[in-house]
Amino acid sequence: MKVAEAVAEILKREGIETVIGYPVNHVLEYAAHKDIRPIIVRQERVGLHMADAISRLTSGARIGVFAMQHGPGAENAFGGVAQAYGESVPILVMPMGYARRLAHVHPNFNSSRSMATVTKSAEPITSAAEVSNVMRRAFTRLRTGRGGPVLVEIPSDLMMEELEGELDYQPAAATRSGPAPEDVAKAAEMLAAASRPVIYAGQGVHYAKAWPQLKALAEHLAAPVCTSLEGKSAFPETHPLSLGAGGLATPQPVRSFLDDADLIFGIGCSFTETSFGVRMPTDKRVVHATLDPMDLNKDVPIALGLVGDAALTLDALLAALAGHVPAPRDANAVAAKIKASYDAWLDQWLPKLTSDATPLNPYRVLWELQRTVDVANTIITHDAGSPRDQLSPFWKTTTPLSYIGWGKTTQLGYGLGLAMGAKLACPDKLCINVWGDAAIGFTGMDFETAVRERIPILSILLNNFSMAIELKVMPVSTEKYRSTDISGDYAAMARAFGGYGERVTDPNEIAAAIRRGITATEEGQPALLEFITSKEVEVSRL
């Protein structure tokens, strides 16, 4: 058995169903021999985004895998690996490497050395005898602890070397750990004593599948819940105790209740300070439950830390709370206060959400989108900038893993690959990406990948022919040189690729166009709906 075949066999034993990549990397071909589907993208970064979504939408049960050629392929992939690292997503990255005799020769790009700063671990396979050992370590790291990319580099001259004897490999087991009992007891006491607790939930709740426990804790304490962008959909946003999700743009209840809280309980979150996340108040008592002890006291000072899996932590906490709060508290007063705050905030935004203006207001497009699709059976993601800030505060999730939120690092074009990966992971769901005319310039060619690889997503493009967010910081260059102007007929591009493409300019046609796009996806055709919008720059930044 050759090394490339052995790696493919290990992927098969680990339950991998697809390997996304760009050739030449012999793992792609040998994966096909093992009935693992290779999916070839137009550029490496999008493929990594697709692998990223597969891991997210299966809570890490299925690991997304990306393989690429050495040199330029690995160099082009760096941004996608860095994005997954920033979002703590477990993906297996397998670059082919230069021949071992050239691996450290200037100026060759050594992936395991160069990507060490944006991976959980980066290791080359240096001999055929070490294939099982290196791959076992990789999958153990992928299934244990905080998520993040794991890189295994396979030198080009090693790919066709023969293994001696049989392949000795058993799939890596996942492990979980829980917090110390004395810390749980203290946390329960603090939560029970708080008069205005707020729960802040992150994506660790998704990976632990701790959605029922989170709901049970909120209802037992009558405590309002907000989430990070990454944690959005961990708690149903139609629930009376939901505040919504916090990002750069937030619903008013998130800001109001965090600022008024006497204790904030963070679960499955890092509390990482970022311009694209909710700003934490600085004068609060904080109990921080996280899988990674490196998060504790990093950006937010805490009164108590709990280290462990979110589900195990919440199970232990619910049991400990029984002695302090024997029966669920009455949530009516809290729910009424949340509703009053939300309704007053929404009233301020309804003129934009229901606007009949032309060019279309992007808020109207996204408002109609939510009112047209079956939200419970939809997975949606945003892109960087305006699409993120216009979508996240208003889109109300009802089921777990129905929204792929992100924002610690904000590369344009991320959403397209996420939507395609989501469709691979959940083929029965309507999978949507919302992007702008700047983002499509980065990754739009991979809409052809969706057509060619038969991945029927719905792509919502908000086209205002401008880098609108940059207008306020580039007034002179815009006026003198039109530096922020961009252009394109992207619906025509989608049709040229073989997808469904439609340009919409009439507000009365928004919902009908969305329904036509959904029909196209149900018939197996990727759809791109291009909405011509105004240069809207206002966001709910609180």
**Does the pLDDT at position 68 exceed 90?**
yes
What's the pLDDT tens digit per position in 439-470?
Answer: 999 999 999 999 999 999 999 999 998 888 78
Name the average pLDDT for the chain.
97
User: Is residue 132 in a domain?
Assistant: yes
Q: What average pLDDT does the segment 147-154 reach?
A: 98
Q: Which two tokens stand for residue 44?
A: 């490496």
Based on the domain organization, do 413 and 523 belong to the same domain? Answer: yes
Looking up residue 487, the CATH number of its domain turns out to be 3.40.50.970
Query: pLDDT tens-digit profile of 395-406?
Result: 999 999 999 999
pLDDT for 407 equals: 87
- Examine the domain organization and report whether 429 and 485 are in the same domain: yes
The answer to the question of residue 310 being in a domain is yes
Asked if 443 and 401 sit in the same domain, the reply is yes
- Give 105's pLDDT tier (boundaries 50, 70, 90): very high
CB 305 within 8 A of CB 288: yes
For residue 537, being part of any structural domain is answered with no
Query: Mean pLDDT over residues 329-347, rounded?
Result: 98
pLDDT of 408 = 86
| Residue for token pair 């006491």 | 189
Mean pLDDT for the stretch of residues 56-76? 96
- DSSP letter for each residue of 347-374: HHHHHHHT---SSBPHHHHHHHHHHHS-
Give the pLDDT mean for 146-159: 97
What tokens appear for 405 in the block? 């939120």
Decide if 505 contacts 359 (C-beta within 8 A).
yes
Shared-domain flag, residues 423 and 307 = no
**Residue 168 forms part of a structural domain:** no
Q: Where are the alpha helices (DSSP H) in 159-223?
A: 181-193, 204-208, 211-221
CA–CA distance, 100 with 190 (Å, rounded to integer): 57
Residues 300 and 368 in one domain: no
Distance in angstroms between the alpha carbons of the first and the last residue of the chain: 59
Q: Report whether pLDDT(325) > 90.
A: yes
pLDDT tens digits for range 374-417: 999 999 999 999 999 999 999 999 999 999 999 888 899 999 99
Same domain, 477 and 373: yes
Has residue 395 been placed in a domain? yes
145 and 253 co-located in one domain: no
Q: What is the DSSP letter of 103?
A: T
The per-residue b/e assignment along 473-509, b for 16 or more CB within 10 angstroms, e otherwise, is: eeeeebeeeeebebeeebbebbeebebbbbbbeebee
CB 235 within 8 A of CB 218: yes
Residue 210: inside a domain: yes
Binning pLDDT at 50, 70 and 90, where does residue 78 land? very high
pLDDT at residue number 410: 86
- What is the pTM for the complete model shown? 0.96
pLDDT at 542 exceeding the cut of 90: no
| CATH number for position 280 | 3.40.50.1220
The mean per-residue pLDDT over the stretch 73-86 comes to 97
The one-letter amino acid at 338: I
**Residues 512, 368 within the same domain:** yes
Contact criterion met (CB below 8 Å) for 205 and 310: yes
Total count of domains within the chain: 3
Given this model, what pLDDT does residue 275 score?
87
Residues 406 and 492 placed together within one structural domain of the fold: yes
In Å, how far from its chain's centre is CA 349? 26
Compute the distance between CA of residue 458 and CA of residue 430 in angstroms, rounded to an integer: 7
Give the rounded distance of the alpha carbon of 6 from its chain centre.
31
Q: Which of 208, 75, 227 is nearest to 147 (CA)?
A: 208
Are the beta carbons of 84 and 148 closer than 8 angstroms? Answer: yes
Average pLDDT score over residue span 133-157? 97
Q: How confident is the model at residue 421 (pLDDT cuts 50, 70, 90)?
A: very high
Q: Do 108 and 70 belong together in one domain?
A: yes
Residues 126 and 194 in one domain: no
Angle formed by the axes of helices 26-33 and 3-13, to 10°?
A: 60
Please give the angle made by the CA atoms of 6, 108 and 29, to the nearest 5 degrees.
30
Distance CA 232, CA 206 (A): 9
Which of 337, 371, 405 is the endpoint of a domain? 337
Rounded CA gap, 223 and 229, in Å?
19
Residue range of the domain that includes 119: 3-155
- Are the beta carbons of 119 and 137 closer than 8 angstroms? no
CA–CA separation, 340 vs 332, rounded Å?
Answer: 12
163 within a domain of the structure (yes/no) = no
Average pLDDT in the 247-257 region? 96
How many whole angstroms separate alpha carbon 220 and alpha carbon 354? Answer: 37
State which of 293, 308, 337 marks the end of a domain.
337
For the stretch 255-298, pLDDT in tens is: 999 999 999 999 999 999 998 899 999 999 999 999 999 999 99
CB 269 within 8 A of CB 405: no
Residue 33 shares a structural domain with residue 71: yes
pLDDT band at 249 (very low <50, low <70, confident <90, very high): very high
Domain presence at residue 471: yes
d(CA 360, CA 339): 29
- Whether pLDDT at 472 is above 90: no
